[in-house]
Amino acid sequence: MKTILTGQQLSITIQRLSHQILENHLQLENTVLIGLQPRGIYVSDRVVHEIKKLVDPSKVQYGKLDITFYRDDVRNQMHVANKTEIPFTIENKNVVLIDDVLFTGRTIRAALDALLDFGRPAKVELCILIDRRFSRELPIQPDYVGKAIDSIITQKVKVAWEAKDGKDEVYFAE
C-alpha cells in the first residue's frame, strides 16, 4: 500500500477545493453543489461542510445524485440504487458536480445524463479529489482537482473516510 494523501493532507485538500469553488462562485449565487452517489458523497459532504463555514449556510444548495441506472458499463449486473436527493431545480443554475476519483470518465458521463432529468443547467463544473489523468476513455476534464496522479490501469486508487473506514487516507491498493 502506497499513500497518496495522508489524513492531514486530505483535510487541507478539501479546504483548498472549497475555497476554489467559492472563488469562482462568490456567495454561491445561482450555484448548486451535487455529490455523486455512492463514494462521491463522502468528499461532497466534507466540501459542503467547509463551504458552510465560509458563507451563510442558508445559501448552500446541496444535493446527492445516484447514477446507477445511467451507467453504460454495468448493465449486465443487477445493482442496488442509492438515493437521489435534489430538493431544488437545476434549471439555469451553475452546477458543481463533486466526486472522489476521476478515472475513465464514464461515471461523469452518466452523471451528466442523469442531471438532465432535473432540468437544463446553465453550466456544469467538475470537482474531483483524485484525477487519474492518463486513464480517460472519454473527453472529460475536471475544473477543480485535489491531486492529479499518474497511475497504470491495473492500479486501484482507494479513498478511506473516517466516517466509513475509521481513518482519512487516499492510497494505492494492491
pTM over 0.85: yes
CB distance 117 to 95 below 8 Å: no
pLDDT (tens digit per residue) in 122-163? 999 999 999 998 889 999 999 999 999 988 778 899 999 998
Distance CA 96, CA 25 (A): 10
What's the confidence (pLDDT) of residue 57? 96
The count of structural domains within the chain is 1
In the block, residue with C-alpha cell 449556510? 57
**What residue ranges of the chain have pLDDT lower than 50?**
none
d(CA 48, CA 174) in angstroms, rounded, equals 31
* Contacts of 35 by beta carbon, 8 Å cutoff, 6+ apart: 41, 43, 44, 45, 48, 62, 63, 64, 65, 98, 99
CATH at 108: 3.40.50.2020
Query: Any idea what the Cα angle at residue 35 is, between residues 32 and 37, rounded to 5°?
Result: 145
C-alpha cell of residue 18:
472549497
The C-alpha atoms of residue 93 and residue 32 are separated, in whole angstroms, by 7
Check residue 78 and give its pLDDT: 52
Query: What residue numbers bound the domain in which 29 lies?
Result: 2-173
